[in-house]
Amino acid sequence: MLPQVHEVLGLLEGGFSGLRVLVVGDIMLDRYIHGEVERISPEAPVPVLRHAQRYERAGGAANVAMNLAGLGVKATLAGFWGADREREELMALLDKDGVNHAPVVTGSLPTISKTRIVARTQQMLRLDIESHKKPMPEEMQRLIDSSVASVAQADAVILSDYAKGALSEELCHAVIRAARDRAIPILVDPKSRDLGKYSGATTVCPNLGELSQATGVSIHELDELLHAAEKQVVEHEFEYLTVTMSEKGIRVIRPGYTYHSPARAREVFDVSGAGDTVIATLAASLAGGLKIESAIELANLAAGIVVGKVGTVPIAAHELVELLTPSQNLRSDERVLDRERIRHRVEEWRAAGETIVFTNGCFDLLHVGHITLLEDCRKFGTKLVVGMNTDASVQRLKGPTRPIVGEKERAHVMAALAAVDAVVLFDEDTPMELIQELKPSVLVKGGDYRVETVVGHEVVLAAGGRVEIVPTVEGFSTTNIVKKLTGGC
């Protein structure tokens, strides 16, 4: 369980959308050609791939930006790309996901691309197109100037170093200095053997192999390697190191303190892009005010999701929301949401393929009739949202002596039930406005209603949903219970 799960869900459900993160680094285009191998070529002893599918993905620093966009962050991408077809394909991908791009176009270098030939899920060959030439000095200066200027509009900065030439030592120092001057987090995905290139960064995020190269300590001597990491923090004035340890999880290291987040057990199909997902999630989390411990846990969850996909595929906020919001994982108060939060929660659930069920009522004194209604609701979908009248609304409907139980207490009792995924209060006399906002897939009402008499039926039906009427349990109602308590019967 995340230490700050309520705050994390708040960020995922709209809070990230107000954040701006700058990504500077090596921009790439990833191509995938998928097919089937059924024979060996008669021309040479090589397998013949029957081409079935081809697609493109943003890679390198561009994939980091795409992960940020998937979380809802306003991402800006800076780096180099060529004046070629690959640049046009990358621009189309970035534009589609709303990534603001401002790379320097270089006429002397191609846009870096990697083409992977895959038979089913087995990669057979990778073709890289890139140049070992350095960018022209005037091109590098333009990138430094534009990157430093962009820091002024950012809430966090990521340096995504794939050792392809975009991140010179001069650029790194200039951008880190600018970020430090604004007191915003700056995170680095390193490829340099000398971590001094990134001195002053908030954190550098090496894997164990990269940490081994930087310290000269074998990855087989884990305790010694992690101790050497502490020295790197002091030597290069980092706040901490964030070490990704593959199946061992992620560890935060600074002198006298470590925090370890174990890996989440998932089936692994492809680890490409997982590091991009980790650093993007960390940057968004820190920019959003989360503590590093919660940021690491969220990044670990995100990495666990993307390694279960084939190819370089960024994380999406709804995937994390879905993972974090099973009823058994949340306290009752974490399932009581305001109107804005419930809209975002339902959007995320719907994007994840969930079927949203909605019912409503006062639910003053909870009884077996209510429980039966809620259990019936679960038969019609995968996520149940309960709309509950506020105290003022109940008084208008039932009279000045009601409700018996206050709205906060009623909401928390309802949210504690296993059948319920979210509770939202509404102050109107009917739930019509709430139904219009949420547009549930299934609207459920108990009693002797007909479909056409259920409030909100027209909204749900117009959106392609349906209305279900379930029978009530005879003899049970809040009114009858109140009468018994007051000696009325």
Query: What tens digit of pLDDT does each residue of 361-405 get?
Result: 999 888 888 899 999 998 999 999 999 999 999 999 999 988 989
Relative to beta strand 27-40, strand 47-60 is antiparallel
Mean pLDDT of the chain: 90
pLDDT at residue 156 is higher than 70: yes
Tally of helices (H runs) and strands (E runs) in the chain: 17, 21
CA separation, residue 40 to residues 49, 53, 119, 126, 251 (Å): 9, 20, 13, 19, 46
User: What pLDDT score does 330 carry?
Assistant: 67
- pLDDT bin (cut points 50, 70, 90) of residue 467 is very high
Which string of DSSP letters, residue by residue, matches 425-451?
EE-SSSSHHHHHHH--SEEEEESS--G
Structure tokens at 275: 């590091």
Q: What is the CATH number of domain 5-29+58-110+132-324?
A: 3.40.1190.20
Per the model's pLDDT, the better-predicted residue between 129 and 9 turns out to be 129
Residues marked as catalytic: 276
Average pLDDT of the residues in 55-71: 95
- pLDDT bin (cut points 50, 70, 90) of residue 61 is very high
- pLDDT bin (cut points 50, 70, 90) of residue 270 is low
User: What pLDDT score does 180 carry?
Assistant: 97
What fold is seen in the domain 330-485? Rossmann fold (3.40.50)
User: What pLDDT score does 441 carry?
Assistant: 96
Identity of the amino acid at 74: K
Asked if 47 contacts 187 with a C-beta cutoff of 8 angstroms, the reply is no
Q: How far apart are the C-alpha atoms of 438 and 440, rounded to whole Å?
A: 6
> Which of 335, 418, 404, 411 is closest to 375 using CA atoms?
418
CATH code 3.40.50.620 region(s) in the chain: 330-485
Sorted by sequence, the CB contacts under 8 Å of residue 211 that are 6+ apart come out as 217, 219, 225, 228, 229, 232, 241, 243
> Among 29-33, 114-118, 310-314, which is the least confidently predicted range?
310-314
CATH code 3.40.1190.20 region(s) in the chain: 5-29+58-110+132-324
User: What pLDDT score does 401 carry?
Assistant: 87
Question: Tell me: the pLDDT tens digits for 157-175?
Answer: 999 999 999 999 999 999 9
Q: Assign 326 to helix, strand or coil.
A: coil
> Which of 237, 229, 231, 199 is closest to 212 using CA atoms?
229
pLDDT at residue 475 is higher than 60: no
pLDDT at residue 5 is higher than 90: no
DSSP lists the bridge partners of residue 77 as 23, 101
- pLDDT bin (cut points 50, 70, 90) of residue 472 is confident
Per the model's pLDDT, the better-predicted residue between 126 and 476 turns out to be 126
pLDDT at residue 463 is higher than 70: yes
| Placement of tokens 């001094």 in the chain | 196
Question: Tell me: the pLDDT tens digits for 94-152?
Answer: 999 999 998 999 988 999 999 999 998 788 999 999 998 999 999 999 999 999 999 99
Q: How far apart are the C-alpha atoms of 214 and 196, rounded to whole Å?
A: 10
pLDDT at residue 247 is higher than 90: no
Element at 231 (helix H, strand E): helix 222-235
User: What pLDDT score does 445 carry?
Assistant: 93
pLDDT at residue 477 is higher than 70: no
User: What pLDDT score does 344 carry?
Assistant: 85
Which string of DSSP letters, residue by residue, matches 251-307?
EEEETTEEEEEPPPP---S--TTHHHHHHHHHHHHHHTT--HHHHHHHHHHHHHHHT
Q: How far apart are the C-alpha atoms of 213 and 243, rounded to whole Å?
A: 13
In angstroms, how far is the first alpha carbon of the chain from the final one?
A: 49
Question: Tell me: the pLDDT tens digits for 274-297?
Answer: 899 999 999 999 999 999 999 999
User: What pLDDT score does 482 carry?
Assistant: 55
Question: Tell me: the pLDDT tens digits for 339-362?
Answer: 988 998 898 888 778 899 999 999
CA separation, residue 270 to residues 17, 44, 121, 430 (Å): 28, 29, 9, 49
Which string of DSSP letters, residue by residue, matches 344-365?
HHHHHHHHTTPPEEEEEE---S
pLDDT at residue 319 is higher than 70: yes
pLDDT at residue 478 is higher than 70: no
Average pLDDT of the residues in 67-74: 96
> Among 69-83, 360-374, 449-463, which is the least confidently predicted range?
360-374
Identity of the amino acid at 325: T
Burial class (CB in 10 A: 0-12, 13-18, 19+), 303: buried
Structure tokens at 109: 């270098």
> Among 321-335, 396-410, 460-474, which is the least confidently predicted range?
321-335
User: What pLDDT score does 474 carry?
Assistant: 61
User: What pLDDT score does 448 carry?
Assistant: 78
Taking the CB of residue 352, how many other CB atoms lie within 10 A of it?
18
Relative to beta strand 257-261, strand 250-254 is antiparallel
> Which of 328, 483, 475 is closest to 415 using CA atoms?
328
Structure tokens at 166: 């975009």
DSSP state of 52: E
DSSP lists the bridge partners of residue 121 as none
User: What pLDDT score does 486 carry?
Assistant: 62
